[in-house]
Structure 1
Amino acid sequence: MRKLLLLAGLLAVVGLLVYNFSGTSVAPPADPAYAERIRLARQQKDNAFRTAATSPIPVAQRAAFGGLRYFRPDAAYRVTAQLTRAAVLAPLPLALTGGSADAYAQWGTAAFELGGKAQKLVLLQRQGVGANPNELFVPFTDPTNGQQTYAAGRYLDVALPPADASTIELDFNTAYSPFCAYNHAYSCPKPPADNRLTVPVLAGEQQVPL
């Protein structure tokens, strides 16, 4: 019994040391049903990138394409944000990586906490040709860019919330890289300066070497 107590105490001390050195606790995993939905969506995207005519993967590389790289689904990166709608849709053109700009408007903002720090993102809506009135576009950057994730930032697509909603869900497990991350022939919108998150987002798609 004494040995068991000593072992339990040793494990507790080790756990405390790990916590102190890491500065954070282990994030809760996503629930199994949700994680499976994420897995299936990622599998479908890999298949599309491998076979679809619209794939950004260069034709000569598709046969050898082994799939995208992702972070493990993590409930800590699925946040409920406070929603503020803009009084009017103010134009906010997004510069493209290849020059010129695409027409977007600032639909509102989402305020939330991530990693214990307050964050805010501008919610955009595409204007003109190709616009989806039922979807918001959330391009963002974070400290992982150029290391674990694509250097120019990543994107979220979010369903337009109901008219009476005061919150909006941002699921960074669904964050994805623009097509120009896989093929330099594409020109992609750059995230606005206001959409810089101050904490690393270890969720969604990781960087894939070209």
Structure 2
Amino acid sequence: MKQFLFYGLFLFVAVTAQAQHSYKDSLDLFLENYVKDHQVVTGADKQYFRFFPVDETYRVTARFRKEENSPWTAFPTSSGKTKQYRIYGWLEFKLHGSDQKLAVYQSQFLLQQKEYSDYLFLPFKDATNGKDSYQTGRYLDLKTSDIKEGTVVLDFNKAYNPYCAYVSTGYSCPVPPKENHLKIAVNAGEKQFAREH
């Protein structure tokens, strides 16, 4: 009996360790592909990408609440131009024991394109901006199909910089609105690019 219990405990620990290892491996591969396939940063400049260490505590399940009849709003961008977005819904979650809330947006432009019609946009700021991460904020991408039974998995390890973090001109990067300014530090995802532009 003791031998059986010991084996069961060993198997549980081994499976748990493998699951955690697999998560880190999958994120490492995700970040590796992100750098390799980046459309703006090319060649030797890829060496200047920086990321926080992968931390599974920044992968959280959020409750989703749909925003009904949300009007289209002009979003300010880095270039001074505006882009039309509307609040698709709200995400409520706990991060390191603290209650958080973020709006997730839908793009009017992408909604008209069949291949991107399910695309959702989550721009945010946090206490790392201007220090460890890009000063204007970072983004997460979601799809409507990611919403399952009123919940969404948010993985801040996949938070990335807008193109404006690498080049000064040529892009109009949406600026995260006030409702998406987190007071806490999100020490996950992409850091400040290590070369000035």
Give the TM-score of the pair, scaled to structure 2.
0.81
For residue 81 of structure 2, the aligned residue among 67, 82, 100 is 100
Which has the higher relative contact order, 1 or 2, with Cα contacts under 8 A spaced 6 or more apart?
A: 2
- SS of the residue corresponding to residue 32 of structure 1 reads helix
Q: Which structure 2 residues correspond to residues 106-185 of structure 1 after superposition, within 5 A?
A: 106-129=87-110, 132-161=116-145, 165-185=149-169
Per-residue deviation, residues 122-144 of structure 1 (Å, max 9, x unmatched): 01011125752222100000000
Taking the aligned partners of 1:169 and 1:93, their CA distance within structure 2 comes to 27
Aligned length in residues:
173
Q: How far apart are residue 198 of structure 1 and its match?
A: 1.5
Per-residue deviation, residues 131-185 of structure 1 (Å, max 9, x unmatched): 5222210000000000000000000001214776211111101000000001111
2:23 aligned residue = 34
Q: How far apart are residue 38 of structure 1 and its match?
A: 1.1
Taking the aligned partners of 1:64 and 1:156, their CA distance within structure 2 comes to 23
Q: What letter matches 2:136 in structure 1?
A: A
Do 1:139 and 1:155's aligned partners in 2 also have CA atoms closer than 8 Å? Answer: yes
RMSD across aligned C-alpha pairs, in angstroms?
1.9
Per-residue deviation, residues 8-39 of structure 1 (Å, max 9, x unmatched): xxxxxxxxxxxxxxxxxxxxxx8111211111
Stretches of structure 2 that go unaligned for 5 or more consecutive residues are: 1-18
Moved over 6 A (4+): none
Bigger Cα displacement from structure 2, 155-164 vs 145-154: 155-164
Relative to structure 1, the CA distance from residue 140 to residue 74 in structure 2 (aligned partners, 3 Å threshold; closer, same or farther) is same
Larger Cα-atom Rg? 1
Give the TM-score of the pair, scaled to structure 1.
0.76
Relative to structure 1, the CA distance from residue 40 to residue 90 in structure 2 (aligned partners, 3 Å threshold; closer, same or farther) is same
Do 1:82 and 1:112's aligned partners in 2 also have CA atoms closer than 8 Å? Answer: yes
Structure with greater helix percent: 2
Q: How far apart are residue 90 of structure 1 and its match?
A: 2.2
Taking the aligned partners of 2:147 and 2:165, their CA distance within structure 1 comes to 35
- SS of the residue corresponding to residue 37 of structure 2 reads helix
Give % identity.
35
Stretches of structure 1 that go unaligned for 5 or more consecutive residues are: 1-29, 50-54
